[in-house]
Amino acid sequence: MEHSRCGIARYRLKFRSAFRIPSHYDASTSKTSKTGGRTPTMFAVWLAIIYGAGLVGIIFALFLARQVLGSDRGTPEMQNIASKIFQGAMAFLKRQYTTIAYLAVVAAVALGVLLAVLQNSKPTSGTSIDGVGLGIKTSVAFLVGALCSGLSGFIGMYIAVQANLRTAAAARRSLADALTMSLRGGAVSGFLVVALSLMGVTTILLAYGGTSFGSDFKDEATVNNILTSIVGFGFGASFVALFAQLGGGIYTKAADVGADLVGKVEAGIPEDDPRNPAVIADLVGDNVGDCAGRGADLFESTAAENIGAIILGAVLYKVSPTHDAAWVMFPLVIMALGIIASLIGVLVVRPSKKMHDAMSDLNIGYYTTAFFCVIGLVGVSFWMFGSTGYADANWKFALCGIFGILTSFAFVLFTQYYTAGAWRPVREIAEASKTGPATVVIAGTAVGFETTAPSTLVIGAALLGSYFVGDSIPGLPLGGIFGTAVATMGMLMSAAYILAMDTFGPITDNAGGITEMSDSPKEVREITDALDSVGNTTKALTKGYAVGSAALAAFLLFSAYLEAAKLMSPSSTVQKPEPLVNLANPVVFVGGFIGAALIFLFSSMTVRAVGKAAGSMIEEVRRQFRSDPGIMAGTSEPDYARCVDISTRGALKAMVMPGLLAVGTPIIVGLTLRAQGAAGMLMIGTIVGVLMANYLNNAGGAWDNAKKYIEAGNLKDATGKVLGKKSDAHAAAVVGDTVGDPFKDTSGPSLHVLIKLLSTITLVLVPLFI
């Protein structure tokens, strides 16, 4: 192709990081390439790996689902309780996703109209697509991303509410059977979510012209058209994930707080006691929050980060003397291999029949997954980058990916340290319960603040290490930023196994409730209690993993935003472009202030929403106890449906305003303070959001497991007397757990999504801000 036909010098770039061409580049070199990396045959091989791994993940999930659904369903009493949980969860999800669907359609139409009008009045440089075409393509991508995100959440919850009954039934046999059942039930969600994300991003890329990367180099506008259109997919996924996490989190904690404070503290009845009117709503909440919400969360994480890496890969595709499609396809191939590694990790978990620490079995599966992720990452890096024309790109990018894997490993370890009962932080909170609820709250708050330090060091080390290693590749522009993208992909390789461990938590929690309410033998409840305690830890470490990946992804997407907003150094310094955002600029400074305030205001609104909905739940439970003495006597059944309805209405009403705040703020900031102000908001909002999410997640998890630590009989007074259930120390720990409930299950997880939503929405709407 002649240089004049490419017309590269004539195009100003929208995504300049994705489209910047060095002045020394000669497009004619594309004809002289002898590498097989960009041939249609090799491109087809990569697609076969991606879709093949996606199909393997789906088939494996279906195999596990069939295995779970075909297992023993327990006693009739267990089945009766499980059916009420299932009905409540499905009713809530139907109403929630109906509301989200309306919001998503309105958002898609508004997005399409804005982009269409903008493109026609102020054409985006570097593209050849007209305004209407851009608006339609972006809106369709938004709706597809929203649909896949919603489907991921639904799948996670549906399987979980089926696996909880089977786990309770398996606990009658052994801890090993119950652990295997709950992990495999969680794995159904994990593999389907990651496979849908991988195949969804790949399909939208191909549908919008991505096959061009597998043929001879076309023109710059073709690539620009593809990338400007697919960003909507990530925005749609983030949009649905935010509302799913908000609604589920508010629901679950309103029910949990009401059940705990009135049932445990005031009435003095055990957790999951069938006499508690809020108990079914509480068990339903475990699924709609931790399963549906987390499934949508990790779906949008993998989707947005894949798209961000593809955008950066496009610039390397274009500056590479061989125009090697490996730069674009590498993130997708890496995620595909992550599915296979996670599959192996699930299969190696073979717990002992004897009572033991179940966390050690799950750790073995995770270590195995990480090991095969390293092997796959190194192998693919040498295979795909070996012929790109840049010295040492293969092993240096492999090292960047290993930094990401080590980051996920570090987050898993230090989250376990801060939230598991075997270590100092949780025991410190438990000891504080001897002197009342105030000291419990103080101790837990201190633990939460402490956790921000190791998370900052880990994230900082990963970003700096991957950036400088990538930046050291001779002659490769933006190699440092692409190195951070590879690190992010490395961290996300184990997403399927991590999500399996996360869904393991609500499944075991529900199983404990089912065994308690069905009056199962004590030894069965001991097994489900042990798994429930481990589940609290797995849920906490998954949230740490999610916020860690959000931090890495936010830097990647922030870099893409700077390029799209033309806030990078001019083309004369293309080899080492530098950002042109100055915090001393009052506009940037104010934008940063707004970003920080957004995190606090959003957290305030979500915690207040839980408090308000919980207040209604508390009043209802008290009313039922007063009006029907037969409930406490065990002669009449509480009105469970009424409590489920209160949580449902409260959650759906309360989720709207925080969601609109999250979507509206970056738009208003961008329109008023323009691109520089939006950059400040993104930068400071991301930093504060990551730290706040760590504090909320880990403080809440530590409070929860301090209560579990006491309930297991591990706390003793000065004379050696066990301070267990119904003791003053236990009552104090319940108060701490209640304070931490909206932290760890509503505000913290919602911030994970908010961080990435800020990046995707500003990236989509950046033409409005320039």
pLDDT at site 224: 66
Q: List the Cα angle 512/514/519 in 5-degree steps.
A: 100
Run of H or E including 308: helix 294-319
Q: How far apart are CA 490 and CA 423, in angstroms?
A: 28
| pLDDT-based confidence at residue 112 (cuts at 50, 70, 90) | confident
Distances from the Cα of 394 to the Cα of 302, 330, 397, angstroms: 23, 12, 6
Q: Which residue has the tokens 């993940």?
A: 57
Q: Give the three-class secondary structure for 72.
A: coil
Q: Is the pLDDT of residue 323 over 50?
A: yes
Render pLDDT for 727-766 as a digit per residue (tens, 0 to 9). Answer: 889 889 988 988 998 898 889 888 878 888 888 888 887 7
Q: Which of 248, 288, 257, 300 is nearest to 746 (CA)?
A: 248
Residue 21 pLDDT greater than 50, yes or no: no
What integer pLDDT is reported at residue 432 of this predicted model?
93
Comparing C-alpha atoms, which of 324, 292, 302 is closest to residue 397? 324
Average pLDDT score, the chain: 82
C-beta neighbour count of 237 within 10 angstroms: 36
Q: Closest Cα to residue 431, out of 713, 702, 734, 716?
A: 716
8 Å CB contact between 503 and 287? no
Neighbours of 98 (CB within 10 A): 10
C-alpha to C-alpha distance for 96 and 92, rounded to whole angstroms: 6
Calpha distance 1→728 (Å, rounded): 80
Taking only the tens place, the pLDDT of each residue in 114-151 is 877 765 544 444 555 666 777 888 889 889 988 888 88
Q: What is the percent of the chain where pLDDT is above 90?
A: 24
CA distance between the termini of the chain: 33
Q: Check residue 358 and give its pLDDT.
A: 80
With the C-alpha atoms ordered 67, 70, 72, 73, is the resulting torsion angle positive or negative? positive
Tell if the pTM clears 0.85, that is, is over it: no
CA of 568: how far to CAs of 245, 270, 308, 584, in Å? 35, 60, 17, 17
Taking the C-alpha atoms of residue 660 and residue 655, their distance in angstroms, rounded to an integer, is 9
Do residues 703 and 444 lie in contact, with contact meaning Cβ atoms separated by under 8 Å?
yes
Q: What is the mean pLDDT of residues 443-464?
A: 92
Identify any residues that bridge with 716 across adjacent strands, giving them in sequence order. Answer: 722
- Tens of pLDDT, residues 142-166: 899 888 888 877 877 788 888 889 9
What is the 3 state secondary structure string of 398-451? Answer: HHHHHHHHHHHHHHHHHHHHHHCCCCHHHHHHHHHHHHCHHHHHHHHHHHHHHH
* CB-count exposure of residue 48 (10 Å: 0-12, 13-18, 19+): exposed
Lowest pLDDT segment from 439-453, 481-495, 572-586? 572-586
Average pLDDT of the segment spanning 354-359: 74
The C-alpha atoms of residue 733 and residue 440 are separated, in whole angstroms, by 7
Q: At what angle do helices 76-121 and 640-654 cross, to 10 degrees?
A: 10
Dump pLDDT digits (tens) for 496-544: 998 898 888 889 988 888 888 888 888 888 888 888 878 877 877 777 7
pLDDT attached to residue 9: 32
